[in-house]
Amino acid sequence: MSSNSPLQAVRGMNDILPEEARLWLWFEDTVRDWLEGYGYRNIRMPLLEHTALFKRAIGEVTDIVEKEMYSFEDSLNGDQLTLRPEGTASCVRAALQHSLLYNAPQRLYYSGAMFRHERPQKGRYRQFHQIGVEALGFAGPDIDAEQIVMCARLWRKLGLRDITLQLNTLGDIAARQRHRAKLIAYFEQYSSVLDEDATRRLYTNPLRILDSKNPAMQELIMAAPNLMEELEEDALKHFETVQKILQRHEVAFEINPRLVRGLDYYNRTVFEWITTRLGAQGTVCAGGRFDGLIEQISGKSAPATGFAMGIERLLALLQEDGMNTPPAPLDVYVVHQGEMADGMASLVAERLRDSGLRVLLHCNGGSFKSQMKKADASNACAAVILGDNEVSTELATLKPLRGGEQMQVAFDDLPAKINELIKQG
Ligand code: ATP
Ligand code: MG
């Protein structure tokens, strides 16, 4: 950026202005209630981590590590650092560093900004926000299913329809390795049909070829060896139990054998919640089991499962549904004019706040008329008016802003009267 160009936010990083921030606050409150309803506890990690953490946790041959990370060298001490592209690695790092898993499993959640250097477009930003939910130290299919059932509850709570669940299992490592060998052998036979991406991935990450959106390759992909056939007894049973629990809770799903997820650390259950209403950026929530990750980071093994949702995408859906930003909450607008009244106004406002009311004290002067215009536009339920008259009689003028006659009220009685007006709506 040249020195005289206007100052703008970094490309792909958004300001969330007050009007929209109201929707975020409402969403965050709703999500917090929902998570507490399942016994999850909040954890907060730094935005910066050592680059090595993500390389080790996410895997070197992934989109994130290969091309999406904001990494730099700390100019003061030479440390290699990265702005977190996702939260699972940091969350697991924190849990291990502070021995949270020492003798109890943990249900944890976090919320905050993530950073990926992607091409910005609707629903895809370079700074975006996730709610991440992790159950660390749990092995059984019950927790996988509970996490999916709980997502379904959140969509209901938010009033979101049209989100469908895709489910798959990646089995365990041995099965994946057998499948991988078969995939390589299969695709090698058709090397002339493979596109550039697939050719590049054939030996590094053949599973990802199944993910290809290229129409010319779909026939080949449909006929590729199926991982399901390699699954061992335990993994199959795990997957069947997850499905059974979902059916018991009437959570509909579609099994998608090509659902492989972008990150290397997943095994067994993987899932995505998808909408068709956000174009190509249709995945609003994604997750699954990652039994190998904790060992990969620490050497000690513990099973785990989790998911993350993209807040921008969920809010875009809510806005498409015509969800209005809830108005800024305000009870009273205090209008005042005259030297004595001006002095008294802030004292009255503080007294009203003492009683729990939300009060906007007019500042910057102006005529009664212009102040009343602002009060009317403010969303407050009542205006308290203070002028020379009110000061000398020690009675404030209380004007209901949603209909009704104005009245004279002793200062001490204001909170009770205003609460009556609020109750009347
Ligand atoms: P995609 O396939 O859309 O790139 P992903 O597999 O990279 O998604 P995850 O790492 O699973 O995404 O992240 C979980 C969720 O976070 C996604 O389902 C999505 O809702 C959201 N998300 C991921 N990347 C972005 C981004 N760049 N901008 C906005 N939201 C994002
Ligand atoms: Mg991505």
Supply the CATH number for residue 417's domain.
3.40.50.800
45 and 126 belong to one structural domain: yes
Q: Name the more confident of 37 and 217.
A: 37
Give, for ligand 1, the residue of 260, 272, 283 to mutate: max count of ligand atoms closer than 8 Å to Cβ: 283
**In a domain? residue 281:** yes
Q: Which ligand lies nearest the alpha carbon of 280?
A: 1
Grade residue 262 by pLDDT with cuts at 50, 70 and 90.
low
Q: How far is CA 237 from the centre of its chain?
A: 31
pLDDT of residue 2: 54
Q: Angle CA(95)–CA(98)–CA(99) in degrees, nearest 5?
A: 75
* CB atoms closer than 10 angstroms to residue 331: 21
Locate the ligand 1 atom nearest the alpha carbon of residue 123 and give its number: 29
Grade residue 4 by pLDDT with cuts at 50, 70 and 90.
low
At residue 280, does pLDDT exceed 90?
no
Among 183, 168, 192, CA closest to 221: 183
Ligand 1 centroid from CA 326, angstroms? 27
341 and 311 belong to one structural domain: no
361 and 387 belong to one structural domain: yes
Query: Where are the strands (E) in 23-126, listed by range?
Result: 41-42, 48-50, 70-73, 80-83, 106-115
381 and 416 belong to one structural domain: yes
Locate the ligand 1 atom nearest the alpha carbon of residue 86 and give its number: 10
Give, for ligand 1, the residue of 281, 289, 312, 314 to mutate: max count of ligand atoms closer than 8 Å to Cβ: 281
Give me the mean pLDDT over the 48-75 stretch. Answer: 92
At residue 325, does pLDDT exceed 80?
no
Which tokens is 255 given? 């099994």
At residue 239, does pLDDT exceed 70?
yes
Q: Which ligand lies nearest the alpha carbon of 118?
A: 1
Residues enclosing ligand 1, CB less than 6 A?
86, 116, 118, 123-125, 128, 130, 262, 281, 283-286, 308-310, 312-313
Residues 6 or more apart in contact with residue 183 via CB below 8 angstroms: 206, 207, 209, 210, 224, 225
Q: Which ligand lies nearest the alpha carbon of 281?
A: 1
DSSP element (H, E) containing 97: helix 88-97
Which tokens is 303 given? 């099973």
Query: Where are the strands (E) in 206-344, listed by range?
Result: 254-255, 267-274, 283-289, 304-310, 332-336
Considering only CA atoms, which residue is closest to atom 29 of ligand 1?
Answer: 124
At residue 19, does pLDDT exceed 90?
no
300 and 151 belong to one structural domain: yes
DSSP state, residue 225: P
* Domain span including residue 395: 332-424
Q: Report how far residue 381's alpha carbon sits from residue 41's, in angstroms, rounded to the nearest whole number.
A: 36
Q: Report how far residue 276's alpha carbon sits from residue 320's, in angstroms, rounded to the nearest whole number.
A: 12
Grade residue 6 by pLDDT with cuts at 50, 70 and 90.
confident
Q: Report how far residue 86's alpha carbon sits from residue 164's, in angstroms, rounded to the nearest whole number.
A: 23
Residue type, 231: L
Contact 158, 319 (CB under 8 A): no
pLDDT of residue 1: 53
Locate the ligand 1 atom nearest the alpha carbon of residue 284 and give its number: 20
Grade residue 66 by pLDDT with cuts at 50, 70 and 90.
confident
Query: Over the stretch 382-398, which tens digit does the pLDDT of each residue have?
Result: 999 999 999 999 999 99
* 29, burial (CB in 10 Å: exposed 0-12, middle 13-18, buried 19+): exposed
278 and 134 belong to one structural domain: yes
**In a domain? residue 190:** no
Ligand 2 centroid from CA 254, angstroms? 22
Number of domains in the chain: 2
Considering only CA atoms, which residue is closest to atom 19 of ligand 1?
Answer: 310
